Structure 1
Amino acid sequence: MNNQDLNGESIWSRTTEIPPRRPLPGDVTADAAVIGAGMAGILTAFLLSRRGISVIVLEADRIAGGQTKNTTAKITSQHGLFYQKLIRTAGKDRARLYASANESAVEEFETLIREEQIHCHFKRLPSYLYSRDPARQADLEREARAASALGIRACFTGQTGLPFETVGAVRFENQAQFHPLEFIKALSDQVTVYEKTRVIRVKGHTVYTNRGTVTARHIVFATHYPFVNVPGFFFTRLHQDRSYCLGLSGTAPLDGMYYSVDKNGLSLRWNEDTLLLGGGSHRTGKNRAGGEYERLARAAKQFYPGCNITARWSAQDCMSHDGIPFIGSYCVFRPYWHVATGFKKWGMTSSMLSAMIIRDRICGLPNPYEELFRPQRFLLRASAKSLAADLLESTAGLAKGAFHLPLRSRPLPKGHGGIVRIGFKRYACYRDEAGRLHRISARCPHLGCQLEWNGADKTWDCPCHGSRFDCDGNLIDNPAQTGCGCGGQTPE
């Protein structure tokens, strides 16, 4: 298994180039301002513009430069072992709405692609939820019955196209996959996007950026994780997970998309001449040892002998406590602020759904799904377990960040990172392969939690809310809005 030079770039980024856009030229006005030019932001802007709404999209970096370029690009209502749980914790009526909403999003993708004649390798095919553990077969059978009872074309099957034995799978019919950057490139050509324009703050109807202001009747936060803490308080209701992916050549094609319910299970899908092999999911900030890419490589060698690893990359997902995205009003006191977040691992389907709901909110149209996804809901039975876990993690992270407990100052091996004491201060330090020590503040600038080393991506991640930084403190992922203080390099 020969590996090409890998730099963390997804296969989508390698095969599609979106032309750059100019920054915001100064102070402007519009009917709506959308913050974030990922899939959710561009779709929202496009659907609004179709209704005659003037829209400006503001992007801190590049179009699709965040999570959109790192997706596995499945468009599906199959969301893991979820429907039987949702029926139990939220009731059958809400579960049926959730199923219908996601099925409608899949249909809307196909309709839009056909109407706009977008060439993005869109393909309808089944999505499978599988297990290799005999103890999970009953769970799969129950999930199949639950999804079917909610109106989804789903059934339990013992037949899959995987190169290893399973105990069965839930087959969801007529789901889809596509090339996300080919799709978003075509849509973004039809909306006004200003790149390299970082939003600093939002007050009332005004968005303040490093390039000027945008005044709008409606403001949409499509930034993956909402960065305005108050109002909204989304930092108390969301955490982030990371997962990893390899691109493989020299394998047989697959007949569908596959997602495992097992611990350390694999996600697989085929794209033209490349197999996407994913896995290694963990809470952001909880991966000091690393090794996810190596574990995926071992699985690739085991199941696809002779394959080549042609790409590797990772992605980040926002997780709500009850497993349902937050789509709608940012806060009851800001009815003209709208938000889309908490997509879990199903960002493409949820992006379309959020664009449809927010379009209808702004245009004053009824939407059958708005109440289910309302950010101000609180489903206690569905949220309790995740809420407790998030509170524990946030309390621990804030305590570490606030109190400078004694630390031993010991040398770091090359290629490793850790929290160390230098003099009387603590730093997040990384020693590169040349022996240089990169040191930054150990506290996340978002709310002050202590950063933790991610050995797989060689980044500093916040376990509280998921902000990420490179070894020199440069911001990679929000909700933080700034880097975390470069302490310089020391040759040692």
Structure 2
Amino acid sequence: MRAPDHLYGSHWLRTAPPADPAPPPEGPLDVDVAVVGGGVAGISTAWELARRGRSVAVLEAGRLASGVTGHTTAKLSAQHTLIYDRLRRTRGPDAARLYARSQTDAIRRAAGTATELGVDCEWEETAASTYAEDPGRIPELRAEAAAAEEAGLPAEFVTDTELPFPVAGAVRVTGQAQFHPVKYLLALADDIRRLGGAIHEHTRVTALSEGDPCVLTTASGTGGTEVRARNVVVATHYPVFDRALLFTRLSPRRELVVAAPVDPAAAPRGMYITPEQNTRSLRTAPLPDGGRLLIVTGEHFTPGTGEDVAERFDRLAAWATDRFGPLSFTHRWATQDNDPTDSVPLVGPLHPGARGVYVATGFGGWGLATGIMAGRLLCDLITGRACPWGELYDPRRIASVVREGTAFLKQQADAARHFVGDRLPSSGGPSSVDRIAPGDGAVVRVGGERRAVHRDDDGALHAVSARCTHLGCLVSFNRTERAWECPCHGSRFAPDGHVLQGPAVQPLEPRDL
């Protein structure tokens, strides 16, 4: 769905080449593999399988690459903040090496694919750095540099960077890349079609029946249709079908992005991130006039918790201006990630008893390299080839669940607090719809039932059920992005109730006032 006008929109979607819409299927489909989700993981998986001669169909609820993938910072890196020292301590040095190998393999795969297909996706090889301004974090950075180097990455601890402000230190990894993800993925989609694959947009999958074959039900067209497939890949960012209760191991996180042209002579050419100040991530991208666009990400928060998003946007813009001088912001947007409780994405069989159903989720903010890696791994699993890092990412891993410990329990406590608390009497929020300002929304009691009520800019009221259709938690209104959001698992809905982001697949039901 197009972002509201009061958000300036994603640079990647604004500058993507025009693409003809791919309509929903006109009747039942029979394919070897059905891929649910048209982001980086779904398109990469379908492309890898089509290259190996499998018949594939990509089923996307909106437009290709217009969801989380179209709102990324677009770093293609194996350097994921401070992950290697953590992996070395929690899962051992072999796991850290496999993680580094798998992510590096994804970068090389993307580079080779862009060259092979002749994709003009603004590919730039550069270094990725995790930095800190606080000298007290130097030991942490040194440990990460040592762990990343031990894992096989070209990593080192440095104290000098090209940033226009001082840092205490940084972990620098060379040989990484940044690119235009939508241009890249649309080229892969064209190649999928050339190889005989099918792509269907505006095709929301609402049900999955596992078997031989599996049967997917869609809500597209007049009454929807069925797609039969020997294998199914659920690549919807947050799994919309979760027979293994993976939502208990995922924490949704929303982040904001601001962007502004910057003097090319002073523009950083590397990619930078710091865990400080509620995360600050930055890179620059080429502009058609030869300039550079500074892209800054941060201010993460849990969706649906009533955050003042406008204030967070202002805070992020002020941080960028403070460090780079006066800026004229031309873009701002928001994205959403899911953090796995043990830091490692979940890619593989959907649940212990799954036969032919796979999932890719929990990318933790590093979805580009991980999504491309997931395509390679899932293709190997489906075609019966061995993959050296399959066990590392396997969603069925049990020992890792035990090691998740505190993070796992915190995620359950947060979800339970909303799930139970939302069912208790509360005096919070406006007691009457009359107190809802134009452009805003709130959950109010009407006739003993909680209803999500939005007043549009013209003053008209729109009411829907306030219960998320995933597991029934109470939604909250994000007035900056004009969306209802669920604090339990991150589902998002438009003011009229239709689904913007899963795991929910059904809209919020309309209600009368």
Residues 388-422 of structure 1: per-residue CA shift (max 9 Å, x gap) = 11111111111133344455615244554433333
1-side partners of 2:347 and 2:405: how far apart? 20
**Partner of 2:390 in structure 1?**
370
CA deviation after TM superposition for structure 1 residue 25, in Å: 1.6
- Distance, in Å, in 2 between the alignment partners of 1:454 and 1:54 is 41
Name the counterpart of 2:452: 428
TM (norm. structure 2) is: 0.90
- 1:164 is paired with a residue whose SS is coil
- Structure 2 letter corresponding to 1:249: P
The CA deviation at 1:6 is 5.1
Question: CA offsets per residue over residues 199-255 of structure 1, 9 Å max, x none?
Answer: 1211121111133211111111111111113x2212222121000101101343212
Q: Which residue of 1 aligns with 2:464?
A: 440
Q: Which residue of 2 aligns with 1:104?
A: 105
- Structure 1 unaligned residues grouped into runs of 5+: none
C-alpha distance in structure 1 between counterparts of 2:60 and 2:267, whole Å:
36
Describe the SS at the equivalent of 2:408.
Answer: helix
Which one of the candidate residues 206, 209, 216 is aligned to 2:218?
209
Q: 2:364 aligns with which of 307, 319, 344?
A: 344
Contact 2:126 2:174 in 1 (8 A): yes
Structure 1: distance between partners of 2:6 and 2:268: 24
Aligned residue for 2:387, secondary structure, equals: coil
Residue identity in the other structure for 2:419: L
Determine which of 458, 473, 476 is the counterpart of 2:482.
Answer: 458
Aligned residue runs from structure 1 range 53-92, under 5 A: 53-92=54-93
> Is the alpha carbon distance of 1:37 and 1:271 closer, same or farther for their aligned partners in structure 2, counting shifts above 3 Å?
same
Change (3 A) 1:422 1:77: same
Contact 1:46–1:190 (Cα < 8 Å) also in 2: yes
Aligned residue identity for 1:454? N
Change (3 A) 1:325 1:244: same
Code of the residue aligned with 1:387 in structure 2: it is F
Asked whether the 8 Å contact 1:419–1:442 carries over to 2, the reply is: yes
Q: Which of 204, 207, 224 matches 2:237? A: 224
Distance 1:400 1:438 in 2: 25
Moved more, 199-208 or 429-438: 429-438
**Alpha-carbon deviations, 1:455-478, whole Å to 9, x = none?**
442322111111011223221110
Contact preservation (8 Å) 1:154, 1:172: yes
Alpha-carbon deviation of 1:197?
A: 1.5
Residue identity opposite 1:193 in structure 2: I
> Which residue is equivalent to 1:319?
339
Superimposed CA distance per residue, residues 280-314 of structure 1 (whole angstroms, 9 cap, x where no aligned partner):
11122234222221112212332233321111101
Distance in 1 of aligned mates of 2:423 and 2:320: 43
Aligned position for 1:143: 144
SS of the residue aligned with 2:506? coil
Secondary structure of 1:201 counterpart: strand
Partner of 1:267: 281
Once the two structures are overlaid, the 10-residue window that deviates more, 447-456 or 62-71, is 447-456
Q: Do the aligned partners of 2:279 and 2:300 also contact (CA within 8 Å) in 1? A: no
C-alpha distance in 2 between matches for 1:314 and 1:382:
32
Alignment-derived partner of residue 277 in structure 1 = 296
C-alpha separation in 1, matches of 2:460 and 2:171: 50
Does the 8 A contact of 1:287 with 1:455 survive in 2?
A: no
1:468 aligns with 2:488: no
Letter in 2 for 1:153: P
Letter of the 1:197 counterpart? T
SS at match of 1:471: coil
Q: Quick one: which of 172, 182, 201 aligns to 1:195?
A: 201
Return the letter of the residue paired with 1:102: Q
Q: Which moved more, 1:138-147 or 1:375-384?
A: 375-384
Name the aligned partner's letter for residue 233 of structure 1: L
Tell me what 2:195 maps to: none
Q: TM-score, normalised by structure 1?
A: 0.94
Report the counterpart of residue 422 of structure 2 in structure 1. Answer: 401
Provide the secondary structure at the position in 2 that maps to 1:371: helix
User: Which range moves more in the overlay, 260-269 or 450-459?
Assistant: 450-459
> What are the Cα deviations for residues 41-86 of structure 1, in whole angstroms up to 9, with x where unaligned?
1111111111111111111121112111101111101111111111
CA distance in 2, matches of 1:50, 1:433: 49
Distance 1:250 1:263 in 2: 22
Gapped regions of structure 2 (runs ≥ 5):
193-197, 287-291
What letter is aligned with 2:417?
A
The CA distance in 2 between the partners of 1:53 and 1:94, in whole Å, is: 31
Say whether 1:51 aligns with 2:63: no
Q: Of 409, 416, 423, which aligns to 1:388? A: 409
- Partner in structure 2 of residue 289 of structure 1: 308
Shift of 1:424: 2.4
Give the partner amino acid of 1:217: R
Q: CA deviation at 1:322?
A: 0.4
Q: Distance in 1 between matches of 2:452 and 2:136?
A: 42
Deviation at 1:265? 3.6
Cα distance in 1 between the residues matched to 2:394 and 2:348: 5
Equivalent in the alignment of 2:33: 32
Q: Which moved more, 1:189-198 or 1:356-365?
A: 189-198
The letter for the 1-side match of 2:449 is K
What's the CA shift string for 1:318-364, capped at 9, x where partnerless?
11110111111012222200111111100001111100111101111
Indicate if the aligned counterparts of 1:330 and 1:338 stay in contact, CA closer than 8 A: yes
Choose which of 244, 266, 272 in structure 1 pairs with 2:256: 244
What amino acid is aligned across from residue 98 of structure 1 in structure 2? Y
Residues 418-450 of structure 1 deviation map (CA, whole Å, 9 limit, x = unaligned): 333334222233444554444332211110011
Tell me, in whole angstroms, the C-alpha distance in 1 between the residues paired with 2:275 and 2:426. Answer: 39
Find the counterpart in structure 2 of residue 257 from structure 1: 271
Shift of 1:28: 1.7
- Of 467-476 and 268-277, more deviation after overlay is shown by 467-476
Mapped to 2, the partners of 1:452 and 1:134 lie a distance apart of: 39
Identity level (%): 36
Q: Secondary structure at the match of 1:189?
A: helix
- Aligned residue pairs total 484
